[in-house]
Structure 1
């Protein structure tokens, strides 16, 4: 019996070694917790091979309990039996894959055992193996949490139970019955139970290592995210991208990292930096394809990367789109100089980083818009207490009061309307054209009372007052024209305001016949803050950024100017209160 135990331990040891090699394969580890039918089938095939190998490496024992230690058992004599680790494979199959996997592996193992020899006497191996596989499956861990399997101790108990069931079938249905059981029961129960426990220990060990690896990766990604956030909150630009690629390179094993916008390389670090130069146009056809399709692309060779430099050392790449909403604004590219480094882990990392970075950029854009709204509110509040405007208006009303009390009363009402409109504009992102006109009319009446005959203001309004637009849109343009268009000219200062619908857009134009804008200032106006004692340059910049942020690039200010005057055009999405309500419902 001791000799039999040693021989059994050798056989089980071979199975354990195979298990140790098997769990080193990432594919098998992914199968362990995959609940798909395809994964179940693969597990069934895998453990069926284990069980068949256990049958074929078993120890033949004759009717006199004499051992025949053969290397491979393809067939045995009619009256002989086999001492093997078949039940170990069936039990573990059930524990890992569940009842169906365990039952199917038991069926395969039992049928193969019959094929080996004694079909009539060994029929009971089929139902016993199927029953053991099913019972093991019902006892397996419910796996509500990943990276958990049945503990080795529980596996040992299950191994004892399953092997005891097999001994019971042999006792009841085998021709040699009790004589065989009393000889093989203890070695088989002890060794196979220990084998089951060791098998589960190996799986648990590797899964814990993977859990630790993922925890380390998660920690690195969290650190990476924390360090990149301050830069991407500034938006996707050359400065932020150059800092981000350094951080990505620091926390990953990529040989090179690039970030681009839709046309140019913003940053590149690592291999290939001699020709992947920030500021250059996109160097690879792969990047252009990603921007065009919005789909992540994987390149396994330099030809697929499509770099224009024939000596480029980059041999494998992951190129993923950076999105804000449905718009691709650029790409994140990670390269290797050796193809074999590119694995599914790196691909998933790239996809995850793109999602994180896109959210960071979107967060930055949202913060910019929030700041613009705050700036607009501050400007409105400042206008309410602007001492120059306020005192000029009060002085004008005071002067009118001496000779025309009714006109003074009207101007006071207009001053009240002006400040009331400012308060409304400070609270809302959109107001009706009627509300905007109320503020503009109040402002113009006060200004025209101060400077009689200086300005000729005409309105050509071809839409209803219920159309929506951002607050201060027309007000800023009109105020800018009155303050800056005419210089010291005393008369013939014309301002034409046109509001009409063009298709699905609201077209607004403010045109003057003033002196025009200096050519060196025209490209900057509305696109960047300008230093000005009166603040008009910042007002146009603020308005332009709010229009783009609220709607789209088509809504940006369009400024043309010459020595005959200036025209500022705006094209906004056309919608009324009813349209806004429908839009809200659709969301």
Structure 2
């Protein structure tokens, strides 16, 4: 048994060596992180089937109680048995890839083992291997948490259990029960112990390597956040030659790539690093790769000098990633990461490039939103339609900036909503009446931004008659009432804050009814609302006052603005105006 134990250690060592080499390949790491995909499962099946077959071929032949010396076991006699690491390979395949991978690897490994020899009785290796694949896969799903792999200790226990199951098959299906018992007595302890230890080491290598990848990503994320913070002031000004050159230097400092280039739709705005002698700012875009991205709006990757497409023969750039910079749905330009050594273009670098493209596109959109607000300021539009609450604006920007660190796609969506909000402000500033449908879009953008800042704090429900959507109302009338409820109705209460919005027609009048379940309003305060500027810790009442004035100016006695304190608690604001329908 000691001799068998030593020889089995050699076989386990071979599998561990192969595992170490495999998990350090970038392609295999990527495969593991995407193992739920159909294509990834196929590749994992192939990988582990190779491992299982190697385990069979490197097994130790046992005839009776004698250990036969051999290097590669392509075939054994019907009287012989094999001690091998097949169960280790099947168990790990199930733990890593799940039941589907485990079953397929077990099926292939069992067939290969059966064809090695032992006659008709050797066919039991097929169902036993399949059963081990199923069980290890189920254990793998049970023990896997947060997209991680089972820890090595649990994996070792699972592997030991799988080997015991295999020993039961050997006991009952290897010739007579006496022969089976003798074989199990000889091989069970070395195989159970070493296969479980081998699985422990295999999963330790796997988890350790992937943890290193996660740590590298964490470090990279920290650098990306710093990078985003430093580039934000520049991209907020748009894609300009002067600012782009500064941005390119910052990006190269943090990414350590050979060169960084930024373009608009036609010209090179900045180029820092290798190739700067001929990739000159203010020149037209010279690489075919960049032209392709500007046309398609999709990321492009060049793995060799030819694919980069630079016409300069002495250009040192041998690989590149080109990311489109978007401004909403329009292509504003490109960001290019160049490499003088194509081996530096790794999967991690591709992920980084995609993330930077998303962040910088969001920053450009943020810059456009700020430009819109600046245009409002320069135009000096002083009516209520043009009034933008600076606290709301900066709180929204701060919320989006914080969200960029956690969910760049969600931050991008919020930037679009912020842009929608300011576009509606601009449009409303030029009109005295807008369709209710347009006002609802404005309110929706406002609520998305506000509820992102205070998730689950307010519940706003709408009951709107469809036929009212094309009725004209004063711009921002509904938003002002909802915003007023959010700011004033609930004091410091953080839960059960409900706002009900009802819009309907009644006797040739459009009714806009906004109610809340807040603290209510005193009778004295009701008489003051809408009559002038009020003293308050969180506002002055100017918005409501201005709204009342506009309703009176537009509709005279036909328009009404009423405020009530509800007996059951809370307040009610009711606007009643004539029905005016127009084709917008």
Q: Quickly name the TM-score band, shorter chain normalised.
A: 0.5 to 0.7
Q: Answer with 1 or 2: which has the greater Rg.
A: 1
- Note if contact 1:147-1:208 (Cα within 8 Å) is conserved in structure 2: no
Equivalence for 2:468: none
Equivalence for 1:186: 189
- CA–CA distance in 1 between the matches of 2:223 and 2:183? 59
Equivalence for 1:205: 208
- Note if contact 2:230-2:250 (Cα within 8 Å) is conserved in structure 1: yes
- CA–CA distance in 2 between the matches of 1:344 and 1:155? 28
- CA–CA distance in 1 between the matches of 2:45 and 2:327? 44
Equivalence for 1:542: none
SS at match of 2:429: coil
Q: 1:210 to 1:146 in 2, by over 3 A?
A: farther
- CA–CA distance in 2 between the matches of 1:426 and 1:116? 79
Q: 1:154 to 1:378 in 2, by over 3 A?
A: same
SS at match of 1:269: strand
- Note if contact 1:380-1:426 (Cα within 8 Å) is conserved in structure 2: no
Equivalence for 2:58: 57
SS at match of 2:122: coil
Equivalence for 2:122: 122
Q: 1:373 to 1:141 in 2, by over 3 A?
A: same
Equivalence for 2:97: 97
Q: Following TM superposition, by how much is the alpha carbon of 1:224 offset from its aligned partner in structure 2, in angstroms?
A: 0.7
Query: Would you say 1:316 and 2:319 are equivalent positions?
Result: yes
Q: Following TM superposition, by how much is the alpha carbon of 1:467 offset from its aligned partner in structure 2, in angstroms?
A: 12
SS at match of 1:323: strand
Instruction: State the superposition RMSD in angstroms.
Output: 2.6
Q: 1:470-549 residue pairs with structure 2 within 5 A?
A: none
Query: Would you say 1:249 and 2:246 are equivalent positions?
Result: no
Q: Following TM superposition, by how much is the alpha carbon of 1:296 offset from its aligned partner in structure 2, in angstroms?
A: 2.4
Equivalence for 1:72: 72
**1:372-406 C-alpha deviation (Å, 9 max, x unpaired):** 2234346679xxxxxxxxxxxxxxxxxxxxxxxxx
Q: 1:407-426 residue pairs with structure 2 within 5 A?
A: none
**1:41-97 C-alpha deviation (Å, 9 max, x unpaired):** 21112111111111111111112x010121111111111111111111111111111
- Note if contact 1:147-1:211 (Cα within 8 Å) is conserved in structure 2: no
Choose the corresponding residue for 1:329, options 332, 337, 343: 332
Structure 1: tracts of 5 or more residues without a match: 382-424, 435-465, 471-575, 581-587
**1:430-449 C-alpha deviation (Å, 9 max, x unpaired):** 31599xxxxxxxxxxxxxxx
Query: Would you say 1:30 and 2:30 are equivalent positions?
Result: yes
Q: Following TM superposition, by how much is the alpha carbon of 1:349 offset from its aligned partner in structure 2, in angstroms?
A: 2.2
- Note if contact 1:160-1:189 (Cα within 8 Å) is conserved in structure 2: yes
Q: 1:535-574 residue pairs with structure 2 within 5 A?
A: none
SS at match of 2:261: strand
- Note if contact 2:52-2:105 (Cα within 8 Å) is conserved in structure 1: yes
Q: 1:391-406 residue pairs with structure 2 within 5 A?
A: none
- CA–CA distance in 1 between the matches of 2:472 and 2:154? 72
Q: Following TM superposition, by how much is the alpha carbon of 1:158 offset from its aligned partner in structure 2, in angstroms?
A: 0.9
- Note if contact 1:377-1:426 (Cα within 8 Å) is conserved in structure 2: no
Q: Following TM superposition, by how much is the alpha carbon of 1:275 offset from its aligned partner in structure 2, in angstroms?
A: 2.0
Q: 1:148-187 residue pairs with structure 2 within 5 A?
A: 148-175=148-175, 176-187=179-190
Query: Would you say 1:361 and 2:369 are equivalent positions?
Result: no
Equivalence for 1:48: 49
Q: 1:2 to 1:252 in 2, by over 3 A?
A: same
SS at match of 2:331: strand
- Note if contact 1:8-1:187 (Cα within 8 Å) is conserved in structure 2: yes
**1:250-278 C-alpha deviation (Å, 9 max, x unpaired):** 01121111111122221111011122222
Q: Following TM superposition, by how much is the alpha carbon of 1:144 offset from its aligned partner in structure 2, in angstroms?
A: 6.8
- Note if contact 1:87-1:163 (Cα within 8 Å) is conserved in structure 2: yes
Instruction: Give the count of matched residue pairs.
Output: 399
- Note if contact 2:260-2:271 (Cα within 8 Å) is conserved in structure 1: yes
- CA–CA distance in 1 between the matches of 2:300 and 2:582? 43
Equivalence for 1:87: 87
SS at match of 2:237: coil
Q: Following TM superposition, by how much is the alpha carbon of 1:147 offset from its aligned partner in structure 2, in angstroms?
A: 5.4
Q: 1:366-377 residue pairs with structure 2 within 5 A?
A: 366-377=369-380
